[in-house]
Amino acid sequence: MPETAPLRLGIAGLGTVGVGVVRIVRKHAALLAARAGRPVEIAAVSARSRDKDRGIDIGRYGWEDDPVALARREDVDVVVELMGGSDGPAKATVEAAIRAGKDVVTANKALLAHHGQELARAAEAAGSVLRFEAAVAGGIPVVKALTEGLAGNEITRVMGVMNGTCNYILTRMEATRQGYDALFDEAHKLGYLEADPQLDVGGIDAGHKLALLAAIAFGTQVNFEAVEIEGIEQIELRDIEEAAAMGYRIKLLGVARMTGRGLEQRMSPCLVPANSPLGQLEGGTNMVVIDGDSVGQIVLRGAGAGEGPTASAVIGDVIDIARGFRVSTFGVSAGDLVAATPARAAVPAPYYLRMELIDKPGAMAKVAAVLGEAGVSIDRMRQHGHSAPTAPVIFVTHKCARAQIDAALVGMSQTGVVAGAPVAIRIEEV
Ligand code: NAP
Ligand code: HSE
């Protein structure tokens, strides 16, 4: 017999996403009940401040100052964790909910990237489900796509732009011809940045998301520490303009691939063709590209953050639970997830190199020699816009391995003709 009693939610966290969830539960009560086959209700909520004006009336719900107490309430069936943070109250709340035999829905990628394996195991042992659609790519149902719609495929690659803030900064730099610092400030004023902005611009938030998708796609234990991460802080307006002149745009791109050597996971700025779907991605939008052996390529695109889109994903998980659909956190039993060997990205690619060369005789020859010694062949070179005593120089290389570029960068630092640290960006023909 399907369950018809109301599904009672306990919402821990009433910020951007929590308020969005409350709004959907209220606005679409009849729709949700019809789709779930039972009413979906909010039993109780928790946040730091009870008195804060959130633009919604929370007086009708039970209140807990302590989210762990919320997780233990008898009148709560599903704990919806929307506080954030990889440890602290979020982890304690999810653990308490699982111990109390409750199902859990969270949007917290940091928590799952660091503790997803142990939490998934604990949930399974307790007979609970732990779902996290909203944690990856906001409103895009990519977790569902991988665990359900594409379950019949061997996934060969997951790739995408998964941090809206970085994409906003990069696309606004090109549109406004302003530098990174000005656009970082703009994103900050608009409230786009995480409480710790380094999570966004350092590529860490997107790295969390990639690690979660890789676990589902390849049936592997979440291994965030193995993600090779580079942020966007070193990208300058001139890199964006040089890329545009060559028909490329710069994106913070995540790629996860299972190879014969192990699991590659990298999140780094890349030049992608400007006319490709990834190249055309504007503002805070996310895109995930999935390759499966039977389906071919799937492209999912949509809002990667914000109240409505993220709450939409949370409610999708809630409805699944209300319907009695119980899927393992990462699509297979946590005990069956394998520990993949981390592998460095080895597929050769052309690289964009930008450096400040001391403007004196022989400088270019020294740098060219270093590239040659590393086995890196130069495809194109551009030098313009001198401002003594240095000259900005751009090289585009033929395809080579990242390890060769790294060796060349070390060599360049020892030539005495390169000022500061060169920038190396992979060119990805997506
Ligand atoms: P937020 O606006 O900062 O809200 C956090 C909420 O948690 C606040 O209501 C805060 O209470 C509450 N809180 C914090 N510590 C608490 C504690 N110790 N006890 C009780 N309540 C506590 O965060 P958000 O943007 O909604 O994000 C929530 C989660 O969703 C995070 O994991 C985030 O990474 C994830 N996420 C967010 C987005 C997005 O677009 N915002 C997108 C995808 C995923 P007060 O309001 O009283 O301070
Ligand atoms: N800071 C994240 C982003 C929020 O910019 O994409 C959504 O996870």
Cis bond upstream, residue 39 (ω within 30): no
Using 50, 70 and 90 to split pLDDT, how confident is the model at 164?
Answer: very high
This prediction has a pTM of 0.95
pLDDT at 389: 81
Q: Exactly one of 91, 102, 109, 209 is catalytic; which is it?
A: 209
Q: Is 18 touching ligand 1 by the criterion CB < 6 Å? A: yes
- Distance in Å, CA 106 to ligand 1 centroid: 11
Q: Is 50 touching ligand 1 by the criterion CB < 6 Å? A: no
Mean pLDDT of 352-378: 94
Q: Which domains does the chain have, with CATH numbers?
A: 7-135 (3.40.50.720), 142-304+334-343 (3.30.360.10), 351-427 (3.30.70.260)
Ligand 1: residue whose CA is nearest its atom 42: 305
Q: Is 116 touching ligand 1 by the criterion CB < 6 Å? A: no
Residue 131's DSSP bridge partners are 105
Q: Is 52 touching ligand 1 by the criterion CB < 6 Å? A: yes
Q: Is 116 touching ligand 2 by the criterion CB < 6 Å? A: no
Mean pLDDT of 399-405: 95
Question: What is d(CA 166, CA 233) in angstroms, rounded to the nearest whole number?
Answer: 10
- Is 209 an active-site residue? yes
Using 50, 70 and 90 to split pLDDT, how confident is the model at 257?
Answer: very high
- Distance in Å, CA 418 to ligand 1 centroid: 45
- The alpha carbon of 112 is separated from its chain's Cα centroid by a whole number of angstroms, namely 12
**Which numbered atom of ligand 1 lies nearest the CA of 205?**
34
Contacts of 71 (CB under 8 A, 6+ apart): 10, 12, 79, 93, 94, 96, 97, 100, 102
Using 50, 70 and 90 to split pLDDT, how confident is the model at 309?
Answer: very high
**Which numbered atom of ligand 2 lies nearest the CA of 137?**
8
CA dihedral 321, 324, 329, 330 (to 10 degrees): -120
